[in-house]
Chain A
Amino acid sequence: MSTVLTLEDLEALKQRQQLSYAKKGLLFGILSGVFWGLDGVLLGISIAMVPFSDTSLAIYLAPLVGACMHDGFAAFWLFLYNLFTGRSRELLRTLRSRSGIIVAFAALLGGPFAMSGYLLGIQLAGTAHTLAITAMYPALGTVFAMIFLKERVSLRAWIGIVTCILGSFIVGYTPPAGDAHPHFYWGIAFALLPTIGWSLEGVISTYVMDLLDPQVAINIRQGTSFFVYLVGVLPMIGGLLLFKEALILPSAQMLLLTALAGSVSYLFWYKAMNMTGVGRAMALNITYALWSIIFGYFLTDLKLTTPLVCGAVTITLGALLVLANPKELVNLRN
């Protein structure tokens, strides 16, 4: 005997679908943080390998060449993903569109501008502290999103975002013990570049993803970033030789693996921004500061200090506040 669906059944079914979509977006936001935390730790390992570890190199060279290779490999992984999911032709179409060009511009902000600062921060101040400082970007991104995208952000979500940022300050305030990072505070200063770059990138990309598939948009983003590094940044800083050298050494394999984690993180980040809005996606993404501590503890010789642990707990509390009510996400904008 077949069941006839009533109007109430249909409305309830539709609401469940919409809520499921919102919850999936939140999950993607968390996963973007997990994989970016892993990416950060693996990046720290990668740029400590030969030839990046050569101390005769200019201090900015290894991080920037590493960033170029990271984004190039990430673009490769994302292209494979789009190829297998039937979106390869969508890539060219998107590049020809006005929105695609805007994504490419956002890539410059989030790529060479932000990624360079990020890697220099890791080089000079260490992974855990750099990741914690860059965790400020959701606040800036949320303000931009409220102004330009008319996104709705509840008071609870704002408290969650600020709590996450407070956690990052707690982690970042204390310098590491010993002489492992003699230019620690320079590293912290460089870590502010991704704060600005990623917040702007997020808002601009979310705006154009109203009309674009996020999986294609992020592929264009990584490809553009790699291209600008290769033809613009590296020749300017004399990094092409190091690039060629690194390509044939085990460091390239390590970066290829690192970029896999990075590409997964970026994919989830773009999808989360599109599905749950800029503020929440960014706030969940910055739990990478917490995940980097966990991965760093198990994969490297990271020592847990009281500020690291307190900061991680604070970030977690902030993320929980952001997650609290998925029903707020059914309609994102005013």
Chain B
Amino acid sequence: MGNKLIDMNDIKKIMKKKVPLRSAVLYTLATEDSADTTAETTNEDVVAKLRLIYENEKQCSLKVINFHLEALRTSGLIVNTRNTAVNNTLVSYYAVTEQGYRRLKYLPKSLMA
């Protein structure tokens, strides 16, 4: 599957039409190379990126995003690759699975340009 390079300019440009938040979480985790097992993102990075798009929406909080991440993980669309501690706070790393990349086709075509 062709995956696009994700950077902040792309995300801001493409997500003018905001998608449902859980879909946006999955999209934000997607990277150029789906076979690259080192392509992981932390939950806090996901929140930071999505806040630039969803701005002051109440649902765009670490607690809600963690809930969406856990839901995506239990459904097999992402995997928790490793965990670490920053200032004694648990920080989790996630990567999209093959099944997750297949489900990305349900996002608007403009996101996959």
Choose among B73, B74, B83, B108 the residue that contacts A11 (Cβ–Cβ < 8 A): B83
Q: Which of A1-56 contact B (CB under 8 A)?
A: 2-5, 9-11, 13-14, 17-18, 21-22
With contacts A14-B80, A211-B23 taken as known, whether A86 is within 8 angstroms of B58 at the C-beta atoms is yes
CA–CA, A21 and B76, complex, Å: 15
Known: A87-B59, A99-B106. A10 touches B76 (CB 8 A): no
When distances are taken between beta carbons in the complex, the residues of chain A under 8 Å from B59 are: 85-87, 90, 213
Query: Which among B1-9, B13-21, B29-37 touches the partner chain?
Result: B13-21
Task: Find the residue from B74, B80, B83, B108 having the highest chain A CB count within 10 A.
Answer: B74
Query: Is A212 an interface residue when CB atoms closer than 8 A count as contact?
Result: yes
| Cβ–Cβ < 8 Å partners of B58 in chain A | 85-87
B88 within 8 A of partner (CB): yes
Main SS at interface, chain B:
mixed
Structural contact, B88 and A5, CB atoms closer than 8 A: yes
Which one, A10, A94, A210, A333, contacts B90 given CB within 8 A? A10
Q: A10-B85, A86-B58 are in contact. Are A216 and B76 (CB under 8 A)?
A: no
Q: Are B74 and A13 in contact (CB under 8 A)?
A: no
Who on chain A is nearest to B71 by CB? A274
Measured CB to CB, the closest approach of chain B to A104, in angstroms, equals: 14
Q: Measured between C-beta atoms, what is the minimum distance from A23 to chain B in Å?
A: 12
Chain A CB count within 10 A is highest, among B18, B20, B58, B85, for B20
Contact partner of B88 among A3, A11, A22, A97, CB < 8 A?
Answer: A3
Which A residue sits closest to B85, measured CB to CB? A5
A98 CB to nearest chain B CB (Å): 5
Q: Are B19 and A332 in contact (CB under 8 A)?
A: no
Chain B residues contacting A210 (CB-CB under 8 Å) are 22, 71-72, 75, 77, 103
Say whether B38 faces chain A, with CB atoms less than 8 Å apart. no
Number of interface residues of A (CB under 8 A): 38
CB pair A329–B74 under 8 Å, yes or no, is yes
Chain A residues near B41 (CB-CB < 8 A): none
The answer to whether A275 touches B71 (Cβ under 8 A) is yes
Contact between A331 and B106 (Cβ–Cβ < 8 Å)? Answer: no
* A330 in the interface (beta carbon within 8 A): yes
Q: Are A94's CB and B20's CB within 8 A?
A: yes
Counting CB contacts under 8 A, is A89 at the interface?
yes
- Contacts of B90 on A, CB cut-off 8 Å? 5, 10, 13-14, 17
Which residue in chain A gives the minimum CB-CB distance to B100?
A: A210
A4 to B90, CA, bound (A): 12
Q: Is the CB of B92 closer than 8 A to any CB of chain A? A: yes
Is B20 a contact of A90 with CB atoms below 8 Å? yes
Chain B positions within 8 Å of A121 at CB level = none
Contact (Cβ within 8 A) B20 A216: yes
Number of A-B residue pairs at CB separation under 8 A: 91
> Contacts of A21 on B, CB cut-off 8 Å?
70, 74
Q: Shortest beta-carbon distance, B44 to chain A, in Å?
A: 15
A213-B21 contact given A5-B88, A10-B90, A331-B74, CB 8 Å threshold: yes
Which chain A residues border B103 with CB–CB below 8 Å?
210-211
Q: Which of A18, A93, A100 is B70 in contact with, Cβ under 8 Å? A: A18
A11, B26: Cα distance in complex, Å: 23
Q: Which residues of A contact B19 (CB under 8 A)?
A: 93, 97
Annotate B57-86 by CB proximity to A: 1 below 8 A, 0 otherwise.
Answer: 111000000001011111111001001110
Known: A14-B90, A14-B92. A212 touches B74 (CB 8 A): no
Q: Are A212 and B18 in contact (CB under 8 A)?
A: no
- Give Cα distance in the complex from A308 to B105, angstroms: 49
Contacts of B74 in A (CB 8 A): 18, 21-22, 275, 329-332
- Is the CB–CB distance between A99 and B23 below 8 Å? yes
The smallest beta-carbon distance between B63 and chain A, in angstroms, is 11
Top 8 nearest A-B pairs by Cβ distance? A86-B58, A5-B85, A10-B83, A86-B59, A211-B23, A210-B75, A333-B76, A94-B20
Given A93-B19, A99-B106, A212-B22: 4 more A-B contacts, CB < 8 Å: A18-B73, A86-B57, A86-B58, A211-B23
Q: List 15 A-B contacts (CB under 8 A).
A: A4-B85, A13-B83, A14-B83, A18-B73, A90-B20, A93-B18, A97-B19, A99-B23, A211-B20, A211-B26, A212-B23, A213-B20, A213-B21, A275-B71, A332-B75
